[in-house]
Amino acid sequence: MIQNASSARAAPLGRTIALAAILLAATGCFRERPFPIRPGDFVLVSAGSATRPPTTREWLHKTHTQLRHMLPGRDARSLTTLEMMDREGQPIDVYAYFRRPPERLNSVWHNFYGLLHSAQATGTDASNGDPAPPWPGFEDVWIPINERLHLSARIGLAKSDGSPRYSDCIVLIPGLLGNNSLQRTREIARALRDSGLHVLALELRGFGQTEARQPDVFYTFGVLETGDLLAVAEWLQEKSYVRETGLIGFCWGANHALLAAWEDGRRPDDPIVAERLRPYLRPRSIQPHYRAGIMAFSPVLRFAELVELLERPWPLLRDPALHVLQAGVRDRMIRKQHPEVSGNLRRLIELEFERSELNYPGAVDDGRQYLRFLPSHGMPAGDKLESARVPVLVIHAANDPLASAQAVAELFALTENPNVAGILLPGGGHVGFVAHARSYFYSLILNFFDPQHGPAASRNHPPPSVN
């Protein structure tokens, strides 16, 4: 939503306002909706090889080829990893390829389905102290991170004859300012558990029941939360019924997931990590994390540009996506009793850091460097995903009104790691893939984590613990 939501917003505002007013006032379609998996929504495919296991990029190309018939007919054209680059290895103009002018992605008139599907798959931050309503077959647990912090989570175990199966466990994390009240999280959790996988829906520090129990532990937008995710994987791996762990993130949660892939495999002396920041990070571990794979839906790869855009207010009918995001920022400032209330994301970050462990001078700048995936304003990002040692898959939409699709192509032009793959779909909006193409969405996820056919299937599993 970053490059897309740039200052070049020249959509015919009169038509947009008129149509948006009619749609928003006369219908309830622009609201979160449940999209449960249905019989026939999951199609198992084989992307393996008789001679060698495929890389994640090879797996994605073969799998997408077998699943693309599930996309709406008008959306047949998609771009997988290498197709995002020209012969010289430079990113192509993905907006020209999909015929999606980025300056029109904020317009209901020109990007109706992108905005609709985004709204239908994205809930609001409902951190009012109440837990999410119960999910049948799931229970609430607390995961110890350190002496000050336990994370709230909801776990569902796949069972056989009443006992937990020996299976992989997939961790779900929401988007920016989100928690387990999201219907999307609940439905994905059910689909994964019913397919034979364990599921853990996690609420990060500062949100949901984690916040309710420990209100003085503040969010650092991924800097400290990345270590938390590695601790969660280690906690799960201690369970006798957990074979490997996997991870799925949406929006800023997708950035969390990609950071976890980097942090898991990065060099201890990676220069992108500021010297002042190192003592605050979780101690290094050589143990691989999330070996079952990591999926990142709609990552916000141009986060700095998004922060700049949110320094001024955006009316609902001018830019619905930015307006809703700013409302979430304001709600967060009110709930945390910050000294000012606005939709300014930069100020929220600064205020959260001031009350977190990362309150030393220069911590925000060090944090931006840690979080950055692409060079910005002359500042480097390193080659973070070159360090990933587990299968990683990025899924993005060309009609995303919030996060830049072009940035995905730019990321892969800088990433040669064959176990990091990406796909750009014509539709799906911002994390709205389940509303756009439900069968494709569930089939892609369940095939990715399938222990026999997914990109991590070639690993050698240890035998079950006898303890």
- DSSP code per residue over 284-351: P--S---TTEEEEES--TTHHHHHHHTTS---TTT-HHHHHHHHHHHHHHHHTT-S---S-HHHHHHH
Helices 345-354, 363-371: axis angle to 10 degrees equals 120
Report d(CA 115, CA 106) in Å as an integer: 8
Class of domain 1-8+47-459: alpha beta
pLDDT band at 465 (very low <50, low <70, confident <90, very high): very low
What is the average pLDDT across 2-28? 45
- Least-confidence region, from 88-97, 180-189, 340-349, 450-459: 450-459
Residues in the chain: 467
Query: What pLDDT, on a 0 to 100 scale, did the predictor assign at position 44?
Result: 93
Query: What pLDDT, on a 0 to 100 scale, did the predictor assign at position 278?
Result: 97
Supply the DSSP string of 43-95, one letter for each residue: -------SSSPPPHHHHHHHHHHHHGGGS-GGG---EEGGGGB-TTSPBP-HH
Helices 363-371, 252-265: axis angle to 10 degrees equals 90
Is 369 or 26 the better-scoring residue by pLDDT? 369
Query: What pLDDT, on a 0 to 100 scale, did the predictor assign at position 54?
Result: 85
> What is the residue-averaged pLDDT of the chain?
90
3-state secondary structure of 250: strand
Query: What pLDDT, on a 0 to 100 scale, did the predictor assign at position 463?
Result: 36
Condensed to tens digits (0 to 9), the pLDDT of residues 360-416 reads 999 999 999 999 999 998 899 999 999 999 999 999 999 999 999 999 999 999 999
pLDDT band at 458 (very low <50, low <70, confident <90, very high): low
Percent of the chain exceeding pLDDT 90 equals 81
pLDDT exceeds cutoff 60 at 226: yes
Query: What pLDDT, on a 0 to 100 scale, did the predictor assign at position 122?
Result: 86
pLDDT band at 290 (very low <50, low <70, confident <90, very high): very high
Contact 400, 432 (CB under 8 A): no
pLDDT exceeds cutoff 50 at 218: yes
Contact 114, 400 (CB under 8 A): yes
Burial readout 28-53 (b: 16 or more C-beta within 10 A, e: otherwise): eebebeebebeeebbbebebbeeeee
- 86: Cβ–Cβ under 8 A, 6 or more apart, which residues? 92
Report d(CA 378, CA 132) in Å as an integer: 43
What is the average pLDDT across 411-427? 97
What is the average pLDDT across 314-329? 93
pLDDT exceeds cutoff 50 at 267: yes
DSSP state of 389: -
Contact 181, 154 (CB under 8 A): no
Report d(CA 309, CA 304) in Å as an integer: 9
- 199: Cβ–Cβ under 8 A, 6 or more apart, which residues? 138, 155, 156, 169, 170, 171, 172, 188, 189, 192, 193
What is the average pLDDT across 348-368? 97
Contact 412, 440 (CB under 8 A): no
Report d(CA 395, CA 317) in Å as an integer: 28
Helix (H) and strand (E) counts in the chain = 15, 11
Ranges of each domain in the chain? 1-8+47-459
Supply the DSSP string of 157-193, one letter for each residue: --EETTEE-SEEEEEEE-STT--TT-HHHHHHHHHHH
pLDDT band at 12 (very low <50, low <70, confident <90, very high): very low
